[in-house]
């Protein structure tokens, strides 16, 4: 188990962006990508948003949310939100790195924070925010059973493809659909850790994953900035 973790740690640290994108003038949010080892394989913990929520009810996502004044940085935000949503104590997370951010539908700058948690962690979902919690193999995000790309356009007119996975969870006897920014972060995490080509198309130069991912993000940000300027 330690060998699997150590290999992942080394790969992830090479991709740590730290506070590199923190100064961009967008509202901030963070998500925690909780990794755990089960049966000698890396798994990811994901949540299903409560059906009572106004925004994206019933959708699969990572624990996370908007930054608050009390948060020191993006890591603080991710850990605080994970505690509020699934009862994960911050000291039970071994934070490894921050990866290249994304921009959500509300134009928040969303930073993915990667951390290891114990495989024995028992989530206690906050019913106001989370209806379900499940765990799936990280490898599914490079070698999925059910996958389809969805074409989409961002609010700034930037055209791209959105990953969409369907995962049949043997534990819950349920199917979960993982798409949008959640799928985008999960795919990137899997590419970083496994360093192998996925069975589907991705818009990265896989031989230069660090620079390619940062360039993709800056192009997305630039398209958003241009739209803001043209609206003034």
Q: What are 4-38's pLDDT values in tens digits?
A: 999 999 999 999 999 999 999 999 999 999 999 99
Q: pLDDT band for position 60 (50/70/90)?
A: very high
Q: What is the pLDDT of residue 232?
A: 46
Rounded to the nearest 10 degrees, the angle between the axes of helix 180-194 and helix 2-13 is 110
Q: Are 46 and 60 in contact (CB under 8 A)?
A: yes
Sign of CA dihedral 117, 119, 121, 122: positive
pTM for the full predicted model: 0.94
How many structural domains compose the chain? 1
Q: What are 153-183's pLDDT values in tens digits?
A: 766 666 778 999 999 999 989 999 999 999 9
Domain that includes residue 208, residue range: 1-231
Q: CATH number of the domain that 105 lies in?
A: 3.90.79.10
């Amino acid at each position: 188990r330690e060998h699997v973790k150590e290999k992942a740690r080394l790969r992830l640290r090479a991709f740590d962006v730290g506070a590199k994108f923190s100064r961009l003038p967008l509202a901030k949010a963070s998500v925690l990508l909780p990794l755990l080892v089960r049966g000698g394989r890396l798994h990811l913990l994901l949540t299903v948003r409560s059906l009572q929520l106004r925004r994206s009810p019933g959708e699969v996502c990572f624990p996370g949310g908007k930054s608050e004044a009390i948060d020191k940085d993006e890591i603080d935000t991710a850990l605080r939100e994970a505690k509020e949503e699934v009862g994960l104590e911050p000291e039970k997370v071994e934070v490894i790195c921050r990866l290249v951010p994304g921009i959500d539908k509300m134009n928040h700058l969303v930073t993915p924070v990667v951390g290891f948690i114990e495989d024995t962690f028992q989530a206690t979902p906050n019913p106001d925010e989370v209806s379900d919690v499940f765990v799936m193999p990280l490898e599914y995000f490079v070698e999925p059973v059910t996958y389809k790309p969805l074409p989409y356009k961002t609010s700034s007119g930037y055209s791209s493809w959105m990953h969409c996975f369907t995962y049949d969870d043997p534990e819950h006897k349920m199917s979960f659909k993982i798409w949008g920014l959640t799928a985008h972060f999960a795919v990137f995490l899997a590419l970083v850790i496994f360093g192998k080509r996925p069975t589907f198309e991705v818009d990265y130069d896989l031989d230069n994953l660090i620079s390619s991912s940062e360039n993709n993000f800056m192009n997305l940000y630039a398209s958003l900035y241009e739209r803001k300027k043209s609206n003034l």
